[in-house]
Every structure is written in C-alpha cells, then in structure tokens.
Structure 1
C-alpha cells in the first residue's frame, strides 16, 4: 500500500487521513490505529516543516506493509537531511519544568519513539528514508 502527495501542510493532513482510512480498511488493529496515526502525523509534519524548510517542497512518498503481527511504514522525501544525519533524541522536558519555560516544540520525536516499536533513518541518494514499525504481537 503506498501513497504520495506534495509536502504541504494541507496535503499532508489529507494524506494522513487517507492512509489511516486505507490501513483501517486493510485490517490495522483498532487498538493500534491512534498510535499509528499520531506517529505518522508527527513524522510527516516534521518532513513538511523541517526537511523542506527554505526550499521548494516536493513529494512525500509513503509505503506501508501491513502484516499479521506488524505494520512497517517507510516515509521518503528529497528534502534536507536530518541534523547530524541521524534521528533526533527527542527527550521530554523534565517534569518539574515550569509551563512558561517549556520549549515550543521538540516533543514529536519523543512521542514517535514511545508509540513505534522501531524507528530507523537513513540518508540515501539525496533523499531521506524513515522507517517506522509497529508490532502487534502483544495483541490478543
């Protein structure tokens, strides 16, 4: 199952909704649907906001493989590489941080790491490849 769309905020929202509906129709366990949608939205919004920051947006390509016990998602774009060519750490702010001292962003990678079973990133042929895996083996 695959999908591509221009890397704009509006088209990204449409793409996330379309892919979520397709995955549900193909048997994505209901108990994992929200986790997948949230992680997918965070990852794709990072592509739109950061990979294409300051350059003309191109396409975002998403390829999915929904198996009996897992979902594998590959997100490909031709935007700028991740800083230091690796995934950001995504550590949450300490719990004693005052509300006014919280950073505006930076929580997305922590959230993705909490929701996905595995995350990998690679820069290949002037493009970014991000793999997200969601395991279902703990489901009844």
Structure 2
C-alpha cells in the first residue's frame, strides 16, 4: 500500500483516514487499526508541524508492508531533519497537578513508542524516512 498527500492538516487527515480504511479492507483487525492510526497520525502531525513548518508544505509518502505477524509503515518526506538525526526517546513529560501548567506537547512520541514495537529513523540525500513497526503478536 502506498499513499501520497501534501503536508497540510486537511490533506494529512484525509490521507490518514484513507490509510485506515485500506488497512481494514485488507483484513487488519479494527483494534489494531485504531492503534496504528494513532501512532501514524502523531508521526504525520510531526511532519506537518515540524518538517514542513514553512509556508510551502511538501509531500508525504506513506508506505505500508503487511507481513504475517507484523505491519511495517514508512513515512517519507523531504522536510527538515529531526533534531540530532533521531526521533525523540518517547519519555513522557513531567505531569503537574495544575492543569494550566501542563505542557502543550511532548506526549506524541511517548504514544508512538508505546504503540509500536520498533521506531527507526534515517535521513539520506535530504529525505527523511521514519519506519514504525507493529508486531501483531503483542496485544495493542
């Protein structure tokens, strides 16, 4: 499965919805599709907000390889590289008791790491590749 869309909120949302429908039509159980959709949406949101933060959004390519017991998803873009050339560790931010002091972000990478069995990032020739692996042997 291979989908491409421009890195805007509207096109990313439509692309993620289309991707989810295609997973369901290929027999991926709905509970797995829900977990995959959350992680993929968080990763693509990062591409839209950070990799293509400028006024001219580029393209995002979403590739999916289905195996017997796993799903491998590759998100490819030509935006800005991740800081330090690696994804954040996914350590949850410190939670404070006062709601107004809660951080606005920082939860996305934690969720991505919790929902996947593997996260690999590389950048070569100006192209970002983020590979998310979901192991169907582990419950979502």
* TM-score normalised per structure 2: 0.93
What is the CA–CA distance in structure 2 between the aligned matches of 1:122 and 1:138, rounded to whole Å? Answer: 25
- Show the counterpart of 2:50: 50
RMSD: 1.3
SS, match of residue 137 in structure 1:
coil
CA distance in 2, matches of 1:39, 1:127: 21
Q: How many residues align?
A: 139
Please state whether the residue corresponding to 1:76 is helix, strand or coil. strand
Aligned residue for 2:87, secondary structure, equals: coil
Cα deviation, residue 97, structure 1 = 4.4
1:31 corresponding residue in structure 2: 31
TM-superposed deviation, 1:84: 1.0
Q: Which runs of 4+ in 1 moved over 6 A?
A: none
Residue in 2 that maps onto 1:132: 132
Gaps of 5+ in 2: none
Q: Distance in 1 between matches of 2:107 and 2:5?
A: 25
2:110 paired residue number = 110
User: What is the aligned partner in structure 1 of residue 122 from structure 2?
Assistant: 122
- Would the aligned equivalents of 1:28 and 1:66 in 2 still touch at CA under 8 Å? no
Cα distance in 1 for residues equivalent to 2:14 and 2:78: 20
* Runs of 5+ consecutive residues of structure 1 not aligned to the other structure: none
SS in 2 for 1:73: strand
